[in-house]
A and B are shown apart, each in its own frame.
Chain A
Amino acid sequence: MYRILLGCIVLVYLTAPAWAAVTPLQYTQSTLEQARAIVDSDHTHNEKLAALSALMKNFLDTDTMGRAALDKNWAKLTPAQQKEFLTLFRELFQRTYVQKLLLFDKPNFGYVGEERVGNTARVDTKIITPRDEFAVTYQLRPQGDHWVATDIQIEDFSLTVNFRTQLARLLSKTSVEDVLGRMRRKYSPGGAGGEDEL
């Protein structure tokens, strides 16, 4: 009996998801502090942009966000279009978020707390400036040994919802291919919104 109990504990320990080792708040804090170090560094704007994009690649679940942003329009895309959309959306979202982060000269992050709901978590943070505070909330889900953000809310304003609104408006006026073309021009390598031009 004792051996069975010990075996169960070992089994639970071995099969428990690795993400349980680090809390959502800790993981978010770790990512944001790395982001702050990059923003505070003496590198050029483009170098910071590249470093932040690399950092955020592991933190942002842009595929989930992209699907949520397309909402019911997701089904209207062919598998090839869906694949291309997610690739472009990753670039779009990362750049939008990272550029917003770079707006703050020396961002000072405050960590308010975390709340877990089932398998997901919500981490409340704030960016503190000398004159003001900006509330930023991350919706997270576990992925492997870490957490990934499935949405970011700035001052209760969801970036995913905003993209959903913009995309729905665009798709009501124009075709999927036009929207993809627009994104391609801005966010594909060498597009108008390429890093060199930012």
Chain B
Amino acid sequence: MKLLHVTLKDLRLITRDRSALVSLLLVPIVVILVVAETQSGGGSHSIVFPVVNEDQGPVANALIKVFRQHLDVREVDRATAERMVAVENTAAALLILPAGMSKRYLTEKPSTIELLTDPAQWTELQAIKVIMLLADRDAASLGDPFSEELLKVQEHNLTGGRLEFSSLEQNIAGFSVMFVLLNLIFSVSFGLRDEEVWGTSGRLSVAPVAPAIVLGGKLLARLIIGTAQLLVLLLFGHFVYGLTLGRSPFALCLVVVAIVFSMACFSVIVAALARTREQVIPVGLSVVFLLAAVGGCWWPVFEEPQWMQAVAQGAMTTWSMLAIHDVMLRDRSLLEVAPKLLILLAYGVVSFGIGLRLFRYADSGLS
């Protein structure tokens, strides 16, 4: 009987805390929705595959037809294709079907087709290679009865020194970014809400210091810790799992600072939305999981449906992953990665402005 009383009392306490109840369902539902939406995405059909068709013959057309069944094939000129892969990184690889390939194929002479790649887009590249194997099998059944290789693929990296990376090298960066975001959002939100409990907020509100300075100072501390955390995680990946860190340590450090800056500033918005300490966990977890999923920390962005890929352009995690891959996997210099750094910095400044405007202490006001 006493057991029942204790149970009933605890149930009443739990039901009083609505935030806790919401968090029981909100976070998993949000994650399930995002995962389900991603799984229902375009799959390999959303992988852009530029093809330079210098052959224009029946064999090239047949190959392109096979590729079109699985990929978003774009027939473009070589300069455009190279720009898509090497500069814009909107495609993981481009294929060059050489002039005269059809005639050589029909007369059973081998041809070399070039696959120019961006190995940093590792998963997309793997999908493309699998589909190329399928096309090769079809081609082999066409005119290669004794399995002599009539189409040889020569692979070149357009964006760095290596031809491929392991999935681990992709995942370490993705999970590191996610955990730093998790740390920033919770530490900033809880830190600000704790000040209400401690009464610090009341004293700060009457201090002769601008709110931007107060928040800025707090964020600077988080920026330092977050930067150190991300760098240590990447170094751990480097020394334990052989994660490549790129050619320029300086560029990597600046990328890390820019990523953490954008995240730390964004965490002020989350702190503003979570108006009580109890709301921090459900709101924070939902935001972190959403940004990590949409921004490519868990899986490649191409696996997402088109609308989600469009949404991803507005997530700082997307730009963080792009910048970190540019430096670490594509060996890009600081100058080359500068546009993405500027986007991350702008993202941080705008987030800070919005957060500053939205944030209010529950009792009295730093605003």
**Residues on A close to B: CB < 8 A?**
92, 95-96, 99-100, 102-105, 129-132, 134, 154-155, 157, 162-163, 166, 170, 182, 186-187, 193, 197-198
B141 within 8 Å of A by Cβ?
yes
Closest A-B pairs by Cβ, 10 of them: A157-B107, A103-B58, A99-B142, A131-B56, A104-B58, A166-B146, A154-B106, A103-B62, A162-B108, A198-B141
Docked complex Cα distance between A155 and B108 (Å): 11
User: Which A residues are CB-close (under 8 A) to B145?
Assistant: 92, 95-96, 163, 166, 186-187, 193
23 residue pairs of the A-B complex, CB under 8 angstroms, read: A92-B145, A96-B142, A96-B145, A99-B141, A99-B143, A100-B142, A103-B62, A105-B58, A105-B61, A129-B57, A130-B56, A132-B56, A132-B102, A132-B103, A134-B106, A154-B106, A154-B107, A155-B103, A155-B107, A157-B107, A157-B108, A166-B146, A186-B145
Contact between chains at B58 and A170 (CB < 8 Å):
no
Q: How far is the CB of A2 from chain B (nearest CB, A)?
A: 58
Q: Specify the chain A residue showing the minimal Cβ separation from B148.
A: A166
Dominant SS among interface residues on chain B: helix
The docked-state distance in angstroms from the alpha carbon of A193 to that of B145 is 9
A96 to B58, CA, bound (A): 15
| Range, interface on chain B | 10 to 19
**In angstroms, how far is the closest chain B Cβ from the Cβ of A106?**
10
* B59 contacts partner chain A, Cβ-Cβ < 8 Å: yes
| Complex Cα spacing A166 to B138, Å | 20
- Asked whether A182 lies within 8 Å of B146 as measured between CB atoms, the reply is yes
- On chain A, the residues within 8 Å of B143 by CB distance are 96, 99-100, 103
Interface residues in B199-258 by Cβ distance below 8 A to A read: none
Known A100-B143, A103-B62, A163-B145; 20 more pairs at CB < 8 Å: A95-B145, A99-B142, A100-B142, A103-B59, A103-B102, A103-B143, A129-B57, A129-B58, A131-B56, A132-B56, A132-B102, A154-B106, A155-B103, A155-B106, A157-B106, A157-B107, A166-B145, A166-B146, A186-B145, A193-B145
Residues of A within 8 A of B62 (CB): 103
Question: In chain B, what residue has the closest Cβ to A93?
Answer: B145
A31 to B62, CA, bound (A): 23
**Chain B residues packing against A (C-beta within 8 Å):** 56-59, 61-62, 102-103, 106-108, 138, 141-143, 145-146, 148
Q: Taking the nearest CB of chain B, how far is it from the CB of A54, in angstroms? A: 19
Given contacts A134-B103, A162-B108, A198-B141, contact A170 B146 (CB under 8 A): yes
A182 to B146, CA, bound (A): 8
Cβ–Cβ < 8 Å partners of B59 in chain A: 103
Give Cα distance in the complex from A131 to B100, angstroms.
11
- CB-CB under 8 A from A103, the residues of chain B are 58-59, 61-62, 102, 106, 142-143
Within 8 Å CB of A95, what residues of B? 145
A187 proximity list for chain B (CB < 8 A)? 145
B336 to chain A minimum Cβ distance, whole angstroms, is 38
Closest CB in chain A relative to B62 CB, distance in Å = 5
Q: A103-B62, A129-B58 are in contact. Are A197 and B141 (CB under 8 A)?
A: yes
Minimum C-beta distance from B107 to chain A (A):
4
- Is B57 a contact partner of A131 (Cβ separation < 8 A)? yes
- B57 and A100 within 8 A (CB): no
Q: Which residues of A contact B106 (CB under 8 A)?
A: 100, 103, 134, 154-155, 157
Please indicate the chain A residues that have their CB under 8 angstroms from the CB of B138 in the complex.
Answer: 198
A-chain residues with CB within 8 Å of residue B146 when the two chains form the complex: 166, 170, 182
